[in-house]
Amino acid sequence: MSLFRSEEHVMRWLHANDKQRGEVLPLEQVWRLAQAWYRDPRDPAWRARTADESQEVLSSVGLTSDFWKFG
């Protein structure tokens, strides 16, 4: 994951690094994803998510394009 100041900054970085554009998210959405995704593995009830559960986390914060599909 890379952070950028603006759309112009994204485009300059892509050009300078000969990369193709992936998904670009607003910081607020990245924050919601982090809050939903990261859990405390020290919690006695912690267990790894299934692929379906992971997909649901992504969907819950609006990440539903093909880019975010597992499998």
Q: Give the model confidence (pLDDT) of 17-64 as tens digits.
A: 999 999 999 999 999 999 999 988 888 988 999 999 999 999 999 999
- As to burial, measured by CB atoms within 10 angstroms (0-12 exposed, 13-18 middle, 19+ buried), residue 55 is middle
Per the CB < 8 A criterion, the answer to whether 25 and 62 are in contact is no
Provide the b/e sequence for 13-47 (b: ≥16 CB within 10 Å).
eeeeeeeeeeeeeeeeeeebbeeeeeeeeeeeeee
Please give the average per-residue pLDDT across 11-16, as a whole number: 96
On whether the pTM is more than 0.85, the answer is no
